[in-house]
Amino acid sequence: MLREEPLVQALVLAGGEGTRLRPLTLTTPKPVLPLAGRPFLSFMLDWLHGHGVEEAILSLGFLSDAAHAVLGDIQSGMRLRYVHEDEPLGTAGPVRLAAEEGILADRFLVLNGDVLTDMDLTAELEQHERSGAAGTRALIEVDDVTSYGVVPTDEQGEVLEFREKSPGPAPTNRINAGAYVLERSVADLIPAGRAVSFEREIFPQMVGNGLYGWHADGYWIDIGTPERYLEATGDLLAGRVASTLPERDETGSLVYDGSLTNGAHIGPHAVVGPHCNVGPDAAIERSVLYDRVVVGSDAVIRDSIIGAGARVGSGVWMQDAVIGDGAVIADGTRLEPGVRVEPGATAPDPGAGVS
């Protein structure tokens, strides 16, 4: 169900360096890494606009100018504004920064900028209004909570406590989904001029003072690692989460305009970006090629991500690899599973940034 009246404003936390996605994020800021051929954050902005958001504030840090250049000032039918973190400000510091710059609305959404989801934000806002909450957190069910803190609530949805990762059975399998509805008064709780965490500093002091959880359903994934990035790509290609991507081929793959793939085996669930050249009898499976990638004949690329302008030689074999922009993989190279090649490096040269 979509909201008839717009939510007006959302603040997207997109200032992280994306260290777990290196070497890709050494040259491209994580918010605009290509996901199925589009800047990742464009999927989140489409989702927000579908729930009536008219204005999004993007909090950027590392490579912020590059992200601004890609996204511009209008995206997905909404106005974009920016706050720039000179130093990392955590999850709550950017909210205080936006308040100090005079651009924060009386009620606003805060979203983690590395999540792909189709949660019903309109339903979250409606619960927030009904409960008279100061803050409402989306909570999503996961099968395995060992990597997350959990958030138990009472029957009315009021948050009871924050249970950080700990051994033994958890009281709930609902975790923080990184989508909050907050009143402007919450910004006053955030200390100025330093990194501040909602999860560790602000929300704990709000327990018993108007902090609620909203039980979310639907698709949700954090794309912060190469494995989850590829999982999200596959889910988009398979239509498990709604998008405006072009129609996929019979293998569930996308080959963008200007790419040459004659004689190559593309798919299943592969993305070949614009102006790539894939040689005959090369196989691209469950992998992503950014733009202008050249792949030689008989190469095999599985479950891997290849950065823009990289060159993969003939007869190369790789699996679970991440290749930086402009890197070169020599003919006949067999890369060990899990290898990372730095931007502009050459493999198998042991001194050229291969890890």
CA nearest neighbour of 183 among 260, 99, 84, 106: 106
Q: What DSSP state is assigned to residue 30?
A: G
Indicate the pairing of strand 38-39 with strand 34-35.
Answer: antiparallel
* Cα distances (Å, whole numbers) of residue 137 to 212, 245, 284: 6, 29, 40
56-84 burial, b at 16+ Cβ within 10 Å, e below that, comes to bbbbbbbbbeebbeebeeebbebebebbe
N residues, the chain: 355
Residue located via tokens 């004949």: 297
Catalytic, out of 130, 165, 194, 334? 165
Mark whether 165 is an active-site residue: yes
Tokens of 100: 């100090």
Helices (H), the chain: 40-50, 64-71, 93-100, 121-131, 203-206, 226-237
Q: By CB neighbour count within 10 A (0-12 exposed, 13-18 middle, 19+ buried), where does 169 fall?
A: exposed
Token pair for residue 108?
């606003």
- Rounded Cα distance, 72 and 75, in Å: 7
Q: How far is it, in rounded angstroms, from Cα 58 to Cα 43?
A: 14
CB-hemisphere CA count at 13 Å for 326?
8
d(CA 111, CA 66): 21
Closest CA to 229 of 110, 343, 322: 322
Active site residues: 165
